[in-house]
Each structure stands twice: as C-alpha cells, then as structure tokens.
Structure 1
Amino acid sequence: MLKRLALAYLPVVAAGAVQAQTAPQGETNGVRTVPKWELGLGGFFYTLPDYRGADHQSSGILPFPYFYYRGDIIKADRGGVRGELYASDRLDLELSFSGNVPVNSDKNEARRGMPDLDPALEVGPQGIVRIFGRPTDTNRLDIRLPVRQVIGMEFGGVNSNFRSRGQVFTSALNFSHTPRKGWNFGAQAGLYFATKTYHQYLYGVDQQYATANRPAYEARGGYGGWQLTTAISRRFDKLWVGAYVRGSSVNGATFDDSPLVRRKYNYSAGFGIAWVFKESAERVVARDEEQ
C-alpha cells in the first residue's frame, strides 16, 4: 500500500524538468489570470529501478491525483511541492521537497534477506540561478542546487518513527521550452552527491547480512553518479498528457563497488493522462512563465 501511495506521486516528481503553463487563462483588466487551484484524476504507466544501480525493475499502471495550487508562498505543480522564500530576476530560493519509494527486499535478488528500504521524504532549500532567458521567454536555462535532508519513514503501528538517512545534494542544469501553445519540453542533467549515512543506507551491507555472494560493505560519502531527464507535456482544455524518460549512471560513484550495485546504468520512463474536473472560482495573476 505504501509503495502504491508513493508511486502515485511519481508523475509529479518525474516530470519536474518541465515547468510550464497548464491552466486555462483568462484576462481581468488586461491582466492574465488563472485558477488558484485545479483538481483532477488520471492514470500513469511507469517503469523504474528499485534504486540507482539496482538490476530489478518495477512496472505498472497506477491512478494518480492531478493537483495544481498557486499560493503566494506554497506551490504544488509538476515541479513538485515547494515554498518560495526569495525571488529575483536571476536568483530564486525555494524550500523544495522530493522523495524515494519503498523497496521490498524479497523481490530484489541483491538485497534478499536484508531489511526493506522504507519510503523517504527529502526536504531542504534549493537555489535556482538563471543563465539565460527571462521567466516570460519561451526558452530558459538555469542551474538548480537543492540540498535536502532525507527522512526515512518507518511504519509499524505504534512503533512507527522517523529517522535521518543523511543528506543529498544535486547540481543540475535545467532547460525549459514552454511555448504559449503546443508541447512543453524540458531537459535536466545533474550530478549526485550524498553523505556517508545516505549511501550506507542504500548500498551498505552490515556483517549480519553478509553471504558468500554478498560480502560486508561500508559505503563512503561523496560523488553518487549522474542523471539525465527529458519530459514533455501538454494541456488540451480539461485534458493533460505528459511523459518522461530518465537515464542514470553510478559509474565512478564512491559506492560503485558495492555488492548491491548490479548495474552501472539504469533507466526509467512513464506516461500519464489526467482529466481536470474541478477548478477554483478564485483566480490569481498568472506567474511570469504562465503569461
């Protein structure tokens, strides 16, 4: 059940490279306006590895909520859930969120006999530095620098608890093509870095779980590989469609010799379609990229 709930958020996270206008626009006294919130429901096909470096791939179709909220500080859209802390022509500072889906170790040969990987929430500040393109331009290029605390969520009734799984840092180059009409396109390439605690949780093998084919292993902090994501989306009145493809590598990472790393390269992909059936009567001024 937890995995299904976590995967339901996958379309939002995965398509985050594309941040573009999706709402039906109106005009009040010459100013473009959009609904403050929109609500819909859709279906999403996905295929993804258990973790970067895993050789087990999960695929399926899940329902997912389509939710778009344009608050003064809190935003919820295809870029994820975030809080705007500071904004200028060239620099933005946000409180950003992300997450990791749980992994059933019994279904992963490399981890069989080890504890499951719990779902995790990532939260922390993200700086966005614009290289070229104003927020109103069709083509934009920026650098994204999120630093997030990883919080593992262990669910077990009265014994449920939350614990730190370390910190992660990503430096990503992000390109967005968002025409007034037509298909929106985004591409993002980034490098991963994380603390020893985070890498040990994912790739470490304690002595009690060591076997003849899986020796004990202590991971180190530092470089964690790279990732490239491309995504497209388009809004047709009440219908939204979107897709993404992602490739990643752990080749050269500080943990690439872990016995839990079975593949140096992974891919994930997804396609979703949603019907927007409700929107607020209250309208707000469109953001710069929605003008």
Structure 2
Amino acid sequence: MSWFASPAEVVERLGAVGYLTDTATATTAFLAGALEKPLLVEGPAGVGKTELAKAVTAATGAELVRLQCYEGLDEARALYEWNYRKQLLRIQATQVERVDDAGHGGAVGDAWQQTHDDIFAEEFLLTRPLLSAIRREEPTVLLIDEVDKTDVEVEGLLLEVLSDFQVTIPELGTITATRRPFVVLTSNATRELSEAVKRRCLYLHLDYPDADREREIVLSQVPALEERIATQLVATIGRLRELELKKAPSIAESVDWARTLVALEIRELDDKAVDDTLGVVLKHASDHERAVRELRLRR
C-alpha cells in the first residue's frame, strides 16, 4: 500500500479530515509511509502529536491500533501473553482424560505430551497492541503514545518491531508482518530516548503553532466563532504560554475555549470574559492565580 503519493497530498488529505499541517510535517509523514520507517514525533503536550496519527488513520481509511505507554508497562501488556486460565482448564481436562485412560489401559504419557504441546498453541495466545498491529493484513496505523513515560527497559521490546517489523514468540517462532503498519511514536520529551530507538525512526519535532496557524486551526474547528474573537483568543493563549505555568494551554484547549465562547455567546474577550472562562484552558489553581496576576485581570 502506498500511504501518500506526495507531501502535497498529505497536506490535502489530512486537511480534509481537519488536521492542518505545514510542509515539514507533511514531508516527514510522506517519507514515513514511503520508506516504511517509524515516525518519532516529539514536542510539548497538546501540540497535535497524537492527532497526527489519528489524522493519518482517518485520511487513509486504515485502522488505528494504539499502545498507551505508562510507567510499569511490560511485555505482557505491549506484545502478548498466554491465557493462563484457559491453559489451566485444558490441563485439568487432560488430567481427567488421563485418569479415564489409565482405567482403560490408555497411553497416559502420550496424552500429557499432547497437552503440553496444545497449551502453547494459537488459541491460547492473547495478542496485545504491538503483536496485533504486526499480524494485521489490513492497512494499520500503530500509535505508540507517550513512549517517554515507559521504563528504559521497555524500549528493548520495541527494537525488534521497529527494525524488522517482526515479533519472536519462543513457543511459536517468529511472526513477520505481511503488511507493515504506519508507525507513529509520540514523546513529550520528559526523558531522552535511547539512540537505538531513535536510529530506527524518522524524527519530527512539533511545537505550538504561530498565531496565524493557530487561528486557522481554531476557526476550522469552530467555524461559528467570529474571526475577531479568534484573534483575541489566540493572542491571549500566546500570552499564557509565555508564563511559567505547570501546564501551558494546548491547541485542543484553545479549541475548547473557542467552543465555550460560542456556547456562552460571548462577543468580546475582555478581562471579565477571560476570568470567567479561564478554567477551560488552565487546570491548576496556581496557574489560574498566576494568569490573573500577570495578565492583570479585573476581579
């Protein structure tokens, strides 16, 4: 499958599903598909890293398989695990058969050997996101989200998948992808990823867009918002991001704020309107207090 014919087509097709992109992002996304290499997207939270993977999924008609990373993620949750409960039931059933066979002169040893082989068969395998994406024959986008939140050891689990698009299961052998997925890894850069992982990926850094691009994004998502209000909103968001906040407003929160203003029929983003609705974009009390103080809002 050819994911995109050109970077220009990336811009067009992602735009058609509501994701506005620039030339650098479009070019890197095109190359990820053309070269069949994973794409590592790094940047602050809320700049559209995860949404890029979702947009590629929507634009290409693929299916999204998502591995949400977190501290403590292990092989059983990322790759596969055996259905131990089902295996135990099979063993118990075999024990009953062995007793029955023993009473009738059956071959107990043969029955046990067959059970030993059977419990590590396909029907007892529970596939997790990485293995599921490798095994799918349909177009698939594999999103490995917030990979920087995992332990360093987990990156070792990714290397075989990212380099050869295969997974080795000792009891079953090596499973190789018949159709390589479009792989997107996202990172908020809370820690440095290993060079081994980076070497296997194309790299894209996403940052907050400039005011013109963010206004364009907001208006595309909330067409009912007046352009004048959108300009005021984006300017205020920009001022908030310049403050030392625990969590700077994301693009998604800019869009939520725009929807809030439309819902409340606010026609002017004055100090009172900002103060009344600031909870839509700032989610920490200390951030709210700093914004009120620094922006000199009238209480």
Q: TM-score, normalised by structure 1?
A: 0.27
Larger Rg: 2
Q: TM-score, normalised by structure 2?
A: 0.26
- Please state which structure has a larger fraction of its residues in strand: 1
- Please state which structure has a larger fraction of its residues in helix: 2
